[in-house]
Amino acid sequence: MASPIYSFVVPIYNEEQTIQELYRRLSVVMDEMDGPVELVLVNDGSRDTSLSQMRNLAQEDKRVCYLSLARNFGHQVAVTAGLNFARGEAIVVLDADLQDPPELIPEMVKQWRQGYHVIYAQRVRRRQESWFKRSCAFIFYRLLNRLTDVKIPNDTGDFCLMDRQIVDLLNRLPERNRYIRGLRAWLGFRQTAIPFERDPRFAGDVKYTFHKSLALAIDSLVSFSKVPLRIAIYLGLFSALIALVMALLVLYWRIAQPNSPVTGFATILIAIFFLGAVQLVSIGILGEYTGRIYEEVKNRPLYTLSEVGGFSTRPAERRSQDYMNIQSAESN
């Protein structure tokens, strides 16, 4: 196959119910593209039949290639792995559950042809997602924007088309904490949005539990903002101020009304608890940052691969040597 112009990268975690439909809808789009396409499926340690379905697809369709991470590394890492291996000039990232409609891709390509480097899809509406999830997302994106210097567009996910240049730069960013939509915004270049309505999930359960979403939210805040550290300082200053006011009050009572019983017991308890809280919160914030420094310093590879298939050209093979111990990608 000629080297692909377009790469579609899809992270997959226990999506056995959607893969066939995903492939069906993607192949309609792939057939319509004006150049060779490769479909890079990334298995993020699925425990169902996803991987064997991916193998079959790669057998049947030369355009399909796949990587299999050796365990579940999480969505962002799975996408990163896909980006490491994608060979196209324009790379599209989309979810497996068809919440990101593949039919939007030709429109993205149009913008890419006009010279945009990043074309990201921006949700104007989410259908059938819970009220709770929608409001959390709404608040989070706005909060994130207030706290960061990089302008990370509201209500955008990872669904986007990126130019080769952008993906090369992304691949070269050293950090382990990969909040892709943030890094993508940080890179700059010409970026534009395409509005879309987010469809409900095709089948299966949401893989992003509340816990995972919260972790992603904290990750993104900490890796793109130093404001939380400053909040710790403000909290400290604020509690110092309260302490000062209390001290002055006590002094005043002692001098002006020597007989008034300053009921110290409750006051002291409150002060102790308050200070304790401020300190714990501040240490927690510090910990978040230190923990990330620790992660970066360890310098482990982002992921390990247990299997690679369908890639026919050398570069992918060479790259895969870095991540696993098997001899040749072809042998699968």
Give residues in contact with Mg ion (CB under 5 A).
97, 99
CA distances from 69 to 1, 62, 267, 324 (A): 25, 21, 56, 10
Instruction: Choose the one of ligand UDP, Mg ion, none that binds residue 4, judging by a C-beta under 5 to 8 angstroms depending on kind.
Output: none
State which residue, 15 or 38, has the beta carbon closest to ligand UDP. Answer: 15
Instruction: Choose the one of Mg ion, ligand UDP, none that binds residue 15, judging by a C-beta under 5 to 8 angstroms depending on kind.
Output: ligand UDP
DSSP-assigned states of every residue in 115-162: T-SEEEEEEEEESS--HHHHHHHHHHHHHHHHH-SS-PPTTEEEEEEE
Nearest to 158 by CA among 113, 208, 116, 202: 208
CB of 159 to Mg ion, least distance (A): 10
The CB-side HSE value for 17 (13 A sphere, CA atoms) comes to 7
State which residue, 151 or 212, has the beta carbon closest to ligand UDP. Answer: 212
Residue 250 φ/ψ region, left for φ over 0, alpha for ψ in the -120 to 50 degree band, beta for the rest:
alpha
State which residue, 38 or 117, has the beta carbon closest to ligand UDP. Answer: 38
Give start and end residues of each alpha helix (H) in the chain: 19-32, 50-60, 75-85, 105-113, 131-147, 164-172, 180-187, 210-224, 227-256, 264-298, 314-321
CA 143 distance to own-chain centroid: 16
Nearest to 10 by CA among 33, 40, 37, 46: 40
12 touches 96 (CB < 8 A): yes
CB of 332 to ligand UDP, least distance (A): 20
Instruction: Choose the one of ligand UDP, Mg ion, none that binds residue 75, judging by a C-beta under 5 to 8 angstroms depending on kind.
Output: ligand UDP
Q: Binding marks (x or -) toward ligand UDP, 207..246, rule CB under 6 A?
A: xx--------------------------------------
CB of 69 to ligand UDP, least distance (A): 9
Instruction: Choose the one of ligand UDP, Mg ion, none that binds residue 184, judging by a C-beta under 5 to 8 angstroms depending on kind.
Output: none
Query: Which residues 92-151 are close enough to bind ligand UDP by CB under 6 A?
Result: 95-97, 99
44 binds ligand UDP (CB under 6 A): yes
State which residue, 17 or 56, has the beta carbon closest to ligand UDP. Answer: 17
State which residue, 49 or 321, has the beta carbon closest to ligand UDP. Answer: 49
Interface residue list for ligand UDP (CB under 6 A): 11-13, 15, 44, 72, 74-75, 78, 95-97, 99, 201, 206-208
